Protein backbone atom coordinates (compact mmCIF):
# COMPACT_ATOMS: atom_id res chain seq x y z
CA UNK A 1 0.00 0.00 0.00
CA UNK A 2 0.96 3.64 -0.35
CA UNK A 3 1.29 5.91 2.67
CA UNK A 4 1.42 9.71 2.54
CA UNK A 5 2.56 11.64 5.55
CA UNK A 6 4.65 14.59 6.63
CA UNK A 7 8.19 13.88 7.80
CA UNK A 8 10.12 16.72 9.40
CA UNK A 9 7.76 19.27 7.94
CA UNK A 10 7.75 18.02 4.34
CA UNK A 11 5.17 15.84 2.62
CA UNK A 12 6.48 12.38 1.76
CA UNK A 13 5.14 9.28 0.09
CA UNK A 14 6.12 5.70 0.73
CA UNK A 15 5.23 3.00 -1.76
CA UNK A 16 4.91 -0.78 -1.51
CA UNK A 17 4.49 -0.59 2.23
CA UNK A 18 3.50 -3.94 3.72
CA UNK A 19 0.29 -3.62 5.75
CA UNK A 20 1.87 -4.89 8.96
CA UNK A 21 4.93 -2.67 8.65
CA UNK A 22 5.89 -0.26 11.40
CA UNK A 23 6.53 3.46 11.03
CA UNK A 24 10.09 2.75 12.19
CA UNK A 25 10.68 0.41 9.26
CA UNK A 26 9.28 2.91 6.78
CA UNK A 27 11.52 5.69 8.14
CA UNK A 28 14.68 3.61 8.19
CA UNK A 29 14.32 1.31 5.22
CA UNK A 30 12.11 3.22 2.81
CA UNK A 31 12.99 6.85 3.50
CA UNK A 32 16.68 6.48 4.27
CA UNK A 33 16.34 8.00 7.72
CA UNK A 34 18.23 5.64 10.04
CA UNK A 35 18.40 8.13 12.91
CA UNK A 36 15.56 6.44 14.75
CA UNK A 37 17.09 3.23 16.03
CA UNK A 38 15.71 -0.26 16.05
CA UNK A 39 16.71 -2.12 19.18
CA UNK A 40 13.78 -4.08 20.57
CA UNK A 41 10.75 -3.62 18.33
CA UNK A 42 8.54 -4.02 21.38
CA UNK A 43 8.29 -0.59 22.95
CA UNK A 44 10.74 -1.34 25.75
CA UNK A 45 13.78 0.74 24.84
CA UNK A 46 12.55 4.02 23.33
CA UNK A 47 15.44 4.27 20.85
CA UNK A 48 12.87 4.56 18.04
CA UNK A 49 11.09 7.54 19.65
CA UNK A 50 9.66 10.09 17.20
CA UNK A 51 6.95 12.71 17.50
CA UNK A 52 3.62 11.85 15.94
CA UNK A 53 1.49 14.98 15.65
CA UNK A 54 3.77 16.40 18.33
CA UNK A 55 3.41 13.47 20.74
CA UNK A 56 6.41 11.24 21.56
CA UNK A 57 5.72 7.63 20.57
CA UNK A 58 7.65 4.45 19.86
CA UNK A 59 7.68 4.34 16.07
CA UNK A 60 8.17 0.56 16.19
CA UNK A 61 4.63 0.23 17.58
CA UNK A 62 2.86 2.54 15.14
CA UNK A 63 1.56 0.78 12.04
CA UNK A 64 2.67 2.62 8.91
CA UNK A 65 -0.93 2.88 7.72
CA UNK A 66 -1.85 4.71 10.89
CA UNK A 67 0.32 7.72 10.00
CA UNK A 68 -1.50 8.49 6.75
CA UNK A 69 -1.95 12.27 6.62
CA UNK A 70 -0.16 12.86 9.90
CA UNK A 71 2.99 14.69 11.01
CA UNK A 72 6.17 12.92 12.10
CA UNK A 73 9.34 14.54 13.43
CA UNK A 74 12.48 12.42 13.64
CA UNK A 75 15.86 13.12 15.18
CA UNK A 76 17.14 14.16 11.73
CA UNK A 77 14.72 17.08 11.76
CA UNK A 78 15.20 17.96 15.40
CA UNK A 79 17.68 20.81 14.84
CA UNK A 80 15.43 22.53 12.31
CA UNK A 81 12.39 21.80 14.43
CA UNK A 82 14.03 23.39 17.47
CA UNK A 83 15.28 26.35 15.44
CA UNK A 84 11.89 26.98 13.99
CA UNK A 85 10.29 26.68 17.41
CA UNK A 86 12.65 29.29 18.75
CA UNK A 87 12.11 31.69 15.85
CA UNK A 88 8.42 31.32 15.20
CA UNK A 89 6.75 29.71 18.18
CA UNK A 90 8.64 30.65 21.33
CA UNK A 91 7.48 28.47 24.15
CA UNK A 92 5.65 26.04 21.88
CA UNK A 93 6.16 23.71 18.99
CA UNK A 94 5.02 23.36 15.45
CA UNK A 95 4.23 20.21 13.59
CA UNK A 96 2.91 21.97 10.53
CA UNK A 97 4.08 21.37 7.00
CA UNK A 98 4.88 25.05 6.51
CA UNK A 99 8.37 24.71 7.88
CA UNK A 100 10.71 21.79 7.78
CA UNK A 101 13.66 19.79 6.58
CA UNK A 102 13.92 18.40 3.06
CA UNK A 103 14.32 14.65 2.84
CA UNK A 104 17.72 15.13 1.16
CA UNK A 105 18.92 17.33 3.96
CA UNK A 106 17.52 14.89 6.53
CA UNK A 107 19.26 11.97 4.84
CA UNK A 108 22.55 13.85 4.82
CA UNK A 109 22.15 15.16 8.34
CA UNK A 110 25.22 14.77 10.56
CA UNK A 111 25.97 15.95 14.05
CA UNK A 112 28.20 19.01 13.80
CA UNK A 113 28.99 20.33 17.26
CA UNK A 114 30.08 23.86 17.95
CA UNK A 115 33.56 24.32 16.51
CA UNK A 116 36.04 24.64 19.39
CA UNK A 117 38.34 26.90 17.31
CA UNK A 118 35.96 29.28 15.63
CA UNK A 119 33.06 28.98 18.07
CA UNK A 120 30.80 28.60 15.05
CA UNK A 121 27.56 26.80 15.72
CA UNK A 122 26.72 23.79 13.57
CA UNK A 123 23.36 22.37 12.77
CA UNK A 124 22.54 21.14 16.25
CA UNK A 125 19.55 21.75 18.44
CA UNK A 126 20.28 22.97 21.96
CA UNK A 127 19.50 19.54 23.41
CA UNK A 128 21.93 17.88 20.99
CA UNK A 129 24.67 20.37 21.89
CA UNK A 130 23.99 19.78 25.58
CA UNK A 131 24.32 15.99 25.16
CA UNK A 132 27.74 16.50 23.58
CA UNK A 133 28.88 19.08 26.12
CA UNK A 134 27.79 16.95 29.07
CA UNK A 135 29.36 13.77 27.70
CA UNK A 136 26.00 12.05 27.55
CA UNK A 137 26.80 10.07 24.40
CA UNK A 138 28.82 6.89 24.51
CA UNK A 139 27.92 4.30 21.88
CA UNK A 140 25.11 6.61 20.83
CA UNK A 141 22.51 3.99 20.10
CA UNK A 142 20.01 5.31 22.63
CA UNK A 143 20.79 8.95 21.86
CA UNK A 144 18.29 9.76 19.07
CA UNK A 145 15.33 8.53 21.10
CA UNK A 146 16.52 10.32 24.20
CA UNK A 147 17.01 13.56 22.26
CA UNK A 148 13.48 13.49 20.89
CA UNK A 149 12.01 12.69 24.32
CA UNK A 150 14.16 15.26 26.15
CA UNK A 151 13.45 17.98 23.59
CA UNK A 152 9.72 17.42 24.01
CA UNK A 153 10.08 17.62 27.80
CA UNK A 154 11.85 20.99 27.57
CA UNK A 155 9.25 22.26 25.14
CA UNK A 156 6.47 21.58 27.62
CA UNK A 157 8.35 22.19 30.85
CA UNK A 158 11.07 24.84 30.75
CA UNK A 159 12.49 24.09 34.19
CA UNK A 160 11.91 20.44 34.93
CA UNK A 161 12.76 18.94 38.32
CA UNK A 162 14.99 15.86 38.44
CA UNK A 163 11.85 13.84 39.01
CA UNK A 164 10.27 15.34 35.87
CA UNK A 165 13.36 14.45 33.83
CA UNK A 166 13.47 10.89 35.15
CA UNK A 167 9.81 10.43 34.41
CA UNK A 168 10.01 11.89 30.90
CA UNK A 169 12.97 9.66 30.04
CA UNK A 170 11.70 6.53 31.82
CA UNK A 171 10.84 4.92 28.49
CA UNK A 172 14.38 5.26 27.10
CA UNK A 173 17.01 2.69 27.99
CA UNK A 174 20.75 3.31 27.85
CA UNK A 175 23.23 0.46 28.31
CA UNK A 176 26.34 2.65 28.48
CA UNK A 177 26.15 5.87 30.42
CA UNK A 178 24.47 4.97 33.68
CA UNK A 179 22.14 7.92 32.96
CA UNK A 180 23.91 10.47 35.18
CA UNK A 181 25.44 12.34 32.23
CA UNK A 182 22.13 12.20 30.42
CA UNK A 183 20.44 13.88 33.37
CA UNK A 184 23.28 16.43 33.38
CA UNK A 185 22.68 17.13 29.70
CA UNK A 186 18.99 17.79 30.18
CA UNK A 187 19.71 20.04 33.18
CA UNK A 188 22.30 21.88 31.09
CA UNK A 189 19.92 22.40 28.19
CA UNK A 190 17.23 23.62 30.59
CA UNK A 191 19.65 26.07 32.24
CA UNK A 192 20.81 27.41 28.86
CA UNK A 193 17.22 27.75 27.73
CA UNK A 194 16.44 29.80 30.85
CA UNK A 195 19.50 32.01 30.36
CA UNK A 196 18.48 32.70 26.82
CA UNK A 197 15.04 33.94 27.82
Partner 1 sequence: MDFLRPASWEEALAAKAEHPTAVPIAGGTDVMVEINFDHRRPEYLLDLNRIELLRAWEVGEETVRLGASVSYTQIMENLRAELPGLALASHTVASPQIRNRGGVGGNLGTASPAGDAHPALLAAGAEVEVESVRGSRLIPIDAFYTGVKRNAMAPDELIKTVHIKKADGPQQYSKVGTRNAMVIAVCAFGLALHPETRTVRTGIGSAAPTPVRAKAAEEFLNAALDEGGFWESGRIITPSIAKQFAELASASCNPIDDVRGTAKYRRHAVGIMARRTLGWTWEQYRGTGRSLEGAA
Ligand X SMILES: Cc1cc2nc3c(=O)[nH]c(=O)nc-3n(C[C@H](O)[C@H](O)[C@H](O)COP(=O)(O)OP(=O)(O)OC[C@H]3O[C@@H](n4cnc5c(N)ncnc54)[C@H](O)[C@@H]3O)c2cc1C
Contacts of 189 (CB under 8 A, 6+ apart): 126, 127, 129, 130, 150, 154
User: Which of the listed partners (ligand FES, partner 1, ligand X, none) does 176 bind, with a CB threshold of 5 to 8 Å by partner kind?
Assistant: ligand FES
Min dist. Cβ of residue 59 to ligand X (A): 13
Binding track over 149-168 against partner 1, x by CB under 8 A: x-----------------xx
Residues 161-190 that bind ligand FES (CB under 6 A): 174-177
Is 42 near ligand X (CB under 6 A)? Answer: yes
Residue 179 CA, distance from chain mean position: 18
Contact characters 21-60, partner 1, x per CB under 8 A: -x------------------xxxx-x--x-----xxxx-x
**Angle between helix 143-156 and helix 180-196 axes, rounded to 10 deg:** 40
Contact between residue 161 and residue 115 where contact means Cβ atoms under 8 Å apart? no
Amino acid sequence: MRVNFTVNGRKQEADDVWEGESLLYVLRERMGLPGSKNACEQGECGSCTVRLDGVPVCSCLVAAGQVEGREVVTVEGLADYAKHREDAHPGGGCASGACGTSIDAAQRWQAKPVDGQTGEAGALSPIQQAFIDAGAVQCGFCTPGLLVAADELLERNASPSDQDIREALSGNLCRCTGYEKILDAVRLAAARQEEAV
